[in-house]
C-alpha cells in the first residue's frame, strides 16, 4: 500500500518582513529571556517577527496570521518593550553599529530636524529622536522638545539643520541651554519649482524610508508612545537589513537580462 504523506515543512513559511538568522543575531541579546524564570511559551524571535509584520504590512493586531503567536501576546510585548526602554536600547545599539560600520563615530555631532512627525536624524539619515504630538503644536515648540530629547540621547550634538519653520526663539533656546547651533536652511527664490536643499535632503530620505512601512502611512496608534515605537521599529528593521543584508536583487536594482 502506498501512502501519500504531507510534504509540507512543519516550520512556517517566511514572510518578507521576517528576520534572517544573521539579522536575529543582532537583536537577540536585547530581548533575551531572563535566566531563572519560567520558560517562555513563545520564541522571542517570532514575537519580533510579528511586530515587524504588523509594522511593514499595516494590518491590525487582531488580523495577524495565525502562524504567529496570539495577537494579544505580541501586543503585550510591543507595549512592554516600548515602556521599559527595550525598544530604545535596541534602536540605539543598532544605530551605533550602523554608524560604526560606515566609519563614523557613534556619537553624532550634527543632525537635522523635521516636523512631519517632529523627529531628528543624524547626517546618515538615522533616527536620533522622534516626538509624536498633536497637530496643534507649532514647529518651533515641537522643535524645543526635540532639541531637549536629542541632547539627552546624543550629548555630542553641536549643530542642527532646520527649515524656516523653526526660525526665531528656537535658535537662542538651543544655543543658550544646550550649546547647539541651529542653522536654518532657506529655500531659494530663484527657482519656482522643486529643488534639493543642502542638508535637508537627508531627512527627506529618512521620511521616505519611514513611509515604506504601511503602518506609518496612517497613524492608528491611540497613544503617542506607541506611534513613536512604531517609527523606531521601522528603523530597527531597516538597520538590521543594512547590517546583515539578504542576498539577491534589491527592489531598486534592474533585473539582469541575458
- C-alpha 221/C-alpha 157 separation (Å) is 30
Domain positions in the chain: 21-32+40-83, 86-188+197-208+223-243
86-188+197-208+223-243 belongs to CATH 3.30.420: yes
Which H or E run includes 240?
Answer: helix 224-243
C-alpha cell at 193: 519649482
pLDDT of 97 reads 95
Q: Does pLDDT of 179 surpass 60?
A: yes
- C-alpha 203/C-alpha 61 separation (Å) is 29
Report, in this order, helix, strand and coil percent for the chain, each rounded to 5.
45, 10, 45
Considering the chain, what percentage of its residues have pLDDT values greater than 90? 38
- C-alpha 89/C-alpha 186 separation (Å) is 35
| Per-residue pLDDT reduced to its tens digit, 81-134 | 999 999 999 999 999 999 999 999 998 888 877 766 555 677 677 888 887 766
Give the mean pLDDT of the chain: 80
Average pLDDT (143-170) is 83
Closest-CA residue to 205 (of 225, 227, 171, 235) = 235
| Per-residue pLDDT reduced to its tens digit, 222-236 | 778 888 899 899 999
**First-to-last CA distance in the chain?**
48
Amino acid at each position: 500500500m502506498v501512502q501519500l504523506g504531507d510534504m509540507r515543512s512543519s516550520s512556517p513559511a517566511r514572510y518578507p518582513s521576517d528576520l534572517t538568522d544573521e539579522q536575529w543575531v543582532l537583536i537577540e541579546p536585547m530581548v533575551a529571556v531572563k535566566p531563572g524564570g519560567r520558560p517562555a511559551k513563545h520564541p522571542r524571535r517570532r514575537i519580533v517577527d510579528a511586530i515587524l509584520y504588523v509594522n511593514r504590512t499595516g494590518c491590525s493586531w487582531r488580523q495577524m496570521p495565525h502562524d504567529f503567536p496570539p495577537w494579544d501576546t505580541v501586543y503585550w510585548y510591543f507595549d512592554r518593550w516600548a515602556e521599559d526602554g527595550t525598544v530604545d536600547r535596541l534602536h540605539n545599539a543598532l544605530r551605533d553599529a550602523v554608524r560604526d560600520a560606515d566609519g563614523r563615530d557613534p556619537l553624532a555631532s550634527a543632525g537635522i530636524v523635521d516636523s512631519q512627525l517632529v523627529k531628528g536624524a543624524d547626517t546618515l539619515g538615522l533616527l536620533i529622536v522622534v516626538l509624536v504630538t498633536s497637530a496643534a503644536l507649532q514647529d518651533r515648540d515641537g522643535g524645543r522638545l526635540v532639541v531637549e530629547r536629542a541632547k539627552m540621547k546624543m550629548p555630542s550634538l553641536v549643530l542642527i539643520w532646520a527649515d524656516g519653520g523653526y526660525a526665531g526663539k528656537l535658535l537662542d533656546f538651543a544655543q543658550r541651554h544646550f550649546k547647539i547651533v541651529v542653522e536654518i536652511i532657506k529655500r531659494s527664490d530663484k527657482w519656482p519649482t522643486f529643488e534639493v536643499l543642502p542638508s535637508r535632503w537627508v531627512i527627506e530620505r529618512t521620511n521616505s524610508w519611514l513611509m515604506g512601512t504601511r503602518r506609518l502611512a496612517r497613524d492608528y496608534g491611540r497613544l503617542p508612545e506607541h506611534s513613536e515605537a512604531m517609527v523606531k521599529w521601522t528603523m530597527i528593521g531597516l538597520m538590521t537589513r543594512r547590517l546583515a543584508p539578504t542576498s539577491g536583487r534589491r527592489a531598486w536594482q534592474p533585473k539582469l537580462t541575458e
